[in-house]
Amino acid sequence: MAKGRMIDKVVILSKKVNKVSEGAENLYYRIYINTDDYGHYHADPQIIKGQIYTLRKISIPIIKKRLAELTDAVLIKLYEVNEEQYLEIIDFEKHQKFRKDIARKAEYPFPNPIPKRDVTDTEQDETKRSTKSSQDKSSQDKSLSKDKQPSAAQSSKHFSDKIQTVYLEPLLDIAKKIQGKSNGKKAFNFYQWIQIQIRKQAHPAAMLKAGNGLLDYWDTVNNPRGYLDGIMKVENANANESDWVQEHKKIEAEFDAWMHTPDAQKITKLLNLKNMET
C-alpha cells in the first residue's frame, strides 16, 4: 500500500463514480488508498471488513453488494489467483503519477493474463531481485521435510513459556479448535501465527480476540491469515492503549494513597512553610 496516496479530484467528477450509491462510492475511495502501486487489492469481503472497515460496523452482505455495484459500474474488476479473491481499480494509472527513478511495488498478484505495459529499467532490476529472493526462499522451504515441521505440541511448548499469563489457556484452546477445523483447501497453522505475533511483541489480548473472531467466522473466511492480521491492526493498538490507561489509573491510585501517609503529609507541610517564607 502506498503511503500518503492522493486521489485525483477528477475521480470525484467521474460519471461512473456518481452513478453508484454513496456506500459503494465510500468503499471505492477506501479501496483506492489501500491498493498497491498497480491498483490491486484483496476482494475477499472478510479481509475488506477487517482491514478497510476496521472501525465501522458493517455486514459482509453489504460489502458484497457494494463490490457488485462497483463491478457493474466498471470501476473495479474482480479476479482470482490460486483460489484467492482480488480486485483491480480500472484506469488506476490514469489518475496516478509515479516517479521513474523509483520502482513500483506489486503487493498482490496480477490478473491472468498480465496486461502488457512498458517496463522501466529500474522495474526490471527490481523484478529480478524479487524473483531471486522468492527462489531462495522456495529452496529453503523445500529443504524442510514434513517430518521436520513443528508439531502442534512442539509449537505450543515453544510459545507457552513466553505468554505465562491469563491468556495462555484460552489461546491454546482456540489453537486446538482451529487445528480441528483446518484441513484441505483451508489449512492454517494457528500455533505458527501465534509465534509470529510473539516475535512482533503483539498483545495477547488482541491475539485472543482475533482468534475468537476467526473461530466464529471460520466457515465464511477464505483467508485466515489475512483476516487475523486485519483484526490485529486495530485490536493490538486498542489493547496497548487499554493497558496504558489501566497503568495510569494504578499510578494515580498509588499516588493518592501515598498522599495520605505521614511522610507525604510532612513533606506537604514543609513545602507549605517554605512557600509562606518566600
pLDDT given at position 66: 96
Q: Are 6 and 33 in contact (CB under 8 A)?
A: no
pTM of the model: 0.42
pLDDT given at position 277: 60
pLDDT at 247 over 50: yes
Q: Are 159 and 194 in contact (CB under 8 A)?
A: yes
pLDDT at 259 over 60: yes
What is the arithmetic mean of pLDDT over 44-48? Answer: 93
264 compared with 227, residue with greater pLDDT: 227
pLDDT given at position 118: 45
Chain segment 59-100, per-residue pLDDT in tens: 999 999 999 999 999 999 999 888 889 999 998 887 777 777
pLDDT given at position 213: 86
Question: What confidence tier does 49 reach under pLDDT thresholds 50, 70, 90?
Answer: very high
pLDDT at 119 over 80: no
pLDDT given at position 44: 94
Q: Around Cβ 112, how many Cβ atoms within 10 Å?
A: 8
pLDDT at 131 over 70: no
Chain segment 187-244, per-residue pLDDT in tens: 788 888 888 888 888 888 888 888 888 888 888 888 888 888 888 888 888 877 776 7
Distance from chain centroid for Cα 183: 24
Residue 76: what are its φ and ψ, rounded to 5°?
A: -135, 160
Residue 221 φ/ψ region, left for φ over 0, alpha for ψ in the -120 to 50 degree band, beta for the rest? beta
Domains of the chain from N-terminus onward = 9-129 (1.10.10.10), 149-242 (no CATH)
pLDDT given at position 138: 47
pLDDT given at position 129: 54
pLDDT at 105 over 50: yes
Q: Are 41 and 108 in contact (CB under 8 A)?
A: yes
Chain segment 132-191, per-residue pLDDT in tens: 544 554 454 444 334 444 444 444 444 444 455 567 788 888 888 888 888 776 778 888
pLDDT given at position 164: 52
pLDDT given at position 163: 53
pLDDT given at position 112: 67
What is the arithmetic mean of pLDDT over 246-266? Answer: 77
Q: Where are the beta strands (DSSP E) in 22-103?
A: 40-42, 76-81, 84-89
